[in-house]
Amino acid sequence: MFSRIYFLIFLLAASAIGQQVTLPLPRLLTIMPMGGQAGQNVEVTITGENIEDVTELTFSTPQITAKPVTGTTNKFTVSIAAGAPLGVHDARVLSRLGVSSVRAFSVSQLPEVVRTKANNTLETAMPITVGSICNATMTKRAVDYYSFQGVKDQTVAVDCAAVGIDSRLTPVLILADGKGADLKVNRTGGMIDFTPPADGTYIIKVNDLTYQGGERHFYRLALQKSPAQPQPQTQMVSAMSWPPADLPPTANVNETEPNNKDAQRITLPCDIAGSFFPAADVDTYEFTAKKGETWWVEVASERLGLNTDPFVLVQQVKDGKLTDVAELYDIAPPMKVTSNGYSYDGPPYDAGSPDVNGKFGVKEDGTYRLQVRDLFGGTRSDPHAIYRLIVRQATPDFSLAAWAVHMTLRNGDRASLSKPMSLRQGDARAFEVVVQRRDGFDGEINISMENLPKGVSAAGLRIGKGKTYGHLIVTADEKAPCGFSLAKIIGKAVIDGKELTRPVRLASMEWPVKDAKGDIPAPRLMADVPVSVTDSEQAPLSISAAEDKVYEAKAGETFKIPLKLTWRNEFNGTSIKVKAYGEGFSGIKEFDIPLKATTHEAVIDLAALKITPGDYTFAFQSLGICKYRYNPAAVPLAEAQQKEAETTLAAAAAEAKKVAATDAEAAKKAAEKQKQAEAAMTAATSKMKSVTTTANPTDTVEILISQPIRVSVKAAGATTASK
Partner 1 sequence: MLGKAFIFLGLVTMSLAAEPLSFVRDVQPILTKAGCNAGACHAKAVTGQRGFRLSVLGFEPEEDYEAIVKQGKGRRVFPPAPEESLIVTKGAAIVPHTGGKQIEPGSESYQTLVRWIAEGMPYVQPNEPKLSAILVEPARVTMKAKTAQQLKVTARYSDGSSRDVTKLSLFEANDTAMASASGEGLVKTSDIPGTVAIMVRFGGSVSVCSVSVPLGAPVDVMPPEKNFIDHHVLANLKQIGIPPSPICDDSTFLRRVSLDIGGRLPTLEETKTFLADRSPDKRDKAVEALLSSPDYADYFANKWTALLKNQRSENADITANFAFHAWMRDNLLANTPYDQIVRQILASTGTIVSNPPVAWYKRVKEPTTQVEDVAQLFLGVRMQCAQCHHHPFERWTQAEYFQMAAFFSQIGRKPTAIAGEDLIFHKRGIAQTEHRKTRVMLKPAGLGEPPLDIAPDDDPRLVLADWMSRKTNPFFAKALVNRYWKHFFKRGLIEPEDDLRDTNPPTNPELLDALAKHFLDSNYDLKSLVRVITQSHTYQLSAMPNEHNAIDRQAFSHFYPKRMTAEVLLDSIDMVTASKTDFADLPPGTRAISLPDNSYTRASPFLKVFGRPDNTSVCECERVQSASLAQSLHLMNASDVKAKLTANNGRAEQLTKSELPEPKRIRELYLAAFSREPTADEVRIAETHLLKPRNDADGKALDSQRAKRNGYEDLLWALLNTKEFLFNH
Residues that bind partner 1 (CB under 8 A): 120, 141-143, 170, 172, 181-182, 184-185, 187-189, 207, 209-211, 280, 282, 307, 309, 311, 313, 327, 339-341, 348, 371, 373, 375-380, 517-518, 520-521
Note the Cα 438 to chain centre separation in Å.
24
Q: Closer to partner 1 at the Cβ: 375 or 718? A: 375
- Cα–Cα distance, 700 to 417 (Å, whole number): 15
Shortest CB 327 distance to partner 1, Å: 6
Q: Tell me the backbone φ, ψ of residue 19, rounded to 5 degrees.
A: -70, 150
Q: Which is nearer to partner 1, 508 or 631 (CB)?
A: 508
Instruction: Identify residue 207 by its one-letter amino acid code.
Output: N
How crowded is residue 449: how many other Cβ atoms within 10 Å of its Cβ? 22
Question: Min. distance of Cβ 185 from partner 1 in angstroms?
Answer: 4
Which CB sits closer to partner 1, 185 or 546?
185
Q: Among residues 208 and 583, whose Cβ is nearest to partner 1? A: 208
- Comparing CB distances to partner 1, the nearer of 237 and 713 is 237
State the nearest-atom distance from the C-beta of 340 to partner 1, in Å.
4
User: What is the distance between the alpha carbons of residues 456 and 480, in angstroms, rounded to a whole number?
Assistant: 7
The residues, ordered by sequence, that sit 6+ positions from 321 with a Cβ below 8 Å of its Cβ are none
Alpha-carbon span 677 to 72, nearest angstrom: 19
Nearer to partner 1, 311 or 403 (CB): 311
Closest to partner 1 by CB, 207 or 357: 207
d(Cα 439, Cα 221) in Å, to the nearest integer? 42
Rounded CA gap, 5 and 580, in Å?
Answer: 9
Nearer of residues 327 and 592 to partner 1, judged by Cβ:
327
Is the Cβ–Cβ distance between 81 and 59 less than 8 Å? no
Closest CA to 418 of 401, 429, 408, 406: 406
- Whole-angstrom distance, CA of residue 533 vs CA of residue 548: 21
Yes or no: say if 230 and 193 are a contact pair by the CB < 8 Å rule. Answer: no
Of 292 and 378, the one with the shorter C-beta distance to partner 1 is: 378
Strands 529-538 and 421-425: parallel
Q: Exposed/middle/buried for 226, CB within 10 Å: 0-12, 13-18, 19+?
A: middle
Of 591, 652, 484, 656, the closest CA to residue 94 belongs to: 484
Q: Which is nearer to partner 1, 375 or 546 (CB)?
A: 375
Q: How far is the CB of 164 from partner 1 (least distance, A)?
A: 13
**In whole angstroms, how close is the CB of 324 to partner 1 at the nearest point?**
9
CA nearest to 472, candidates 428, 520, 517: 428
**Closest approach of Cβ 542 to partner 1, in Å?**
35
Minimum CB–partner distance for residue 372 and partner 1 (Å): 11
Q: 150-155: which pairs have CB atoms within 8 A and are 24 or more residues apart? A: 150/194, 150/196, 150/198, 150/199, 150/200, 150/201, 150/202, 151/196, 151/199, 152/196, 152/197, 152/198, 152/199, 153/195, 153/196, 154/195, 154/196, 154/225, 155/193, 155/194, 155/195, 155/225, 155/226
User: Is the peptide bond prior to 310 cis by the omega test (within 30 degrees of 0)?
Assistant: no
Q: How many whole angstroms separate alpha carbon 516 and alpha carbon 341?
A: 10
DSSP 164: G
CB of 691 to partner 1, least distance (A): 35
Task: Spell out where 73-118 has E strands.
Answer: 75-80, 87-95, 98-99, 103-108, 112-114
- Considering only CA atoms, which of 636, 624, 656 is closest in space to residue 539? 624
Q: Concatenate the DSSP letters of all residues of 630-668 into one string.
A: S-TTHHHHHHHHHHHHHHHHHHHHHHHHHHHTT-HHHHH
For partner 1, which is the closer residue by CB, 47 or 307?
A: 307
Give 462 or 524: the residue with its C-beta nearer to partner 1: 524
Nearer to partner 1, 99 or 389 (CB): 389
The minimum distance between CB 140 and partner 1, in angstroms, equals 9
How many CB atoms are located within 10 Å of the residue 320 CB?
A: 5
> Looking at beta carbons only, is 26 or 512 nearer to partner 1?
512
Min. distance of Cβ 516 from partner 1 in angstroms?
Answer: 8
CB of 116 to partner 1, least distance (A): 21
Label residue 201 left, alpha or beta by phi (over 0 means left) and psi (-120 to 50 means alpha): beta
DSSP code of residue 100: P
Q: Are 539 and 568 in contact (CB under 8 A)?
A: yes
Q: Cβ 152 to partner 1, closest distance in Å?
A: 19
Least Cβ distance, residue 356 to partner 1 (angstroms): 13
Shortest gap between Cβ of 659 and partner 1 (angstroms)?
48
Residue type, 562: P
CB closer to partner 1 out of 416 and 621: 416
Of 258 and 518, which has the nearer Cβ to partner 1? 518
Q: Are strands 321-328 and 498-509 parallel, antiparallel or unpaired?
A: unpaired
Contact assessment for residue 266 and residue 286, using Cβ atoms and an 8 Å cutoff: yes
State the nearest-atom distance from the C-beta of 41 to partner 1, in Å.
Answer: 36
Q: What is the C-alpha to C-alpha distance for residues 10 and 705, in angstroms, rounded to an integer?
A: 19
CB of 259 to partner 1, least distance (A): 14
Shortest distance (Å) from residue 143 CB to partner 1: 6
Q: Which is nearer to partner 1, 132 or 371 (CB)?
A: 371
